[in-house]
Amino acid sequence: MKNSPYQDVLLSGGLGGLLKDYLDAEGLPATGCRTRIASWQADGQVPITEWVSALALISREYPKPALGLGIGRYAQARHFGMLGYLCLSSDNLGEVFERLSRFYALAWGGIVVPITRTADALTIRWLVPEGMPTQSRMVQLSHETGLVCLVTLARLLCEAPVNPIAVEMGGPTPDQPGLYEQFFHCPVTFGAPAASLSFSSLSLALPIRTSNHSLRDYTERRAEARLGELTRRDAMLTALHALLVRALHEGQPTIAHVAKGMGMSRASLQRRLQERGLGFREFLDQTRLELARMYLADPRLALTEIAWMLAFSEQSAFSRSFKRWTGCSPFAYRRTMIGKS
pLDDT in tens, 148-179: 999 999 999 999 999 999 999 988 899 899 99
pLDDT band for position 28 (cuts 50, 70, 90): very high
Instruction: Please give the DSSP secondary-structure letter assigned to residue 225.
Output: H
> pTM of the predicted model, to two decimals?
0.68
Burial of 215 by CB count in 10 Å (0-12 exposed, 13-18 middle, 19+ buried)? Answer: middle
**pLDDT tens string 40-82:** 988 888 888 789 889 999 998 999 999 999 999 999 999 998 8
Residues with Cβ within 8 Å of residue 330, at least 6 apart in sequence: 292, 296, 303, 306, 318, 319, 322
For the chain, give every domain's residue range: 10-211, 225-340
**pLDDT tens string 94-105:** 999 988 878 887
pLDDT in the model for residue 3:
41
Pick from 325, 115, 83: nearest CA to 199: 115
Fold of 10-211: H-NOX domain (3.90.1520)
The CATH homologous superfamily to which domain 225-340 belongs is Homeodomain-like (1.10.10.60)
* Same fold? 10-211, 225-340: no
Give the whole-number percent of the chain exceeding pLDDT 70.
Answer: 90
One-letter amino acid at 8 equals D
Q: For the chain, percent helix, then strand, then coil, each to nearest 5?
A: 60, 10, 30
Taking the C-alpha atoms of residue 252 and residue 212, their distance in angstroms, rounded to an integer, is: 53
pLDDT band for position 123 (cuts 50, 70, 90): very high
The more confident residue out of 142 and 207 is 207
For 192, the 3-state DSSP assignment is coil
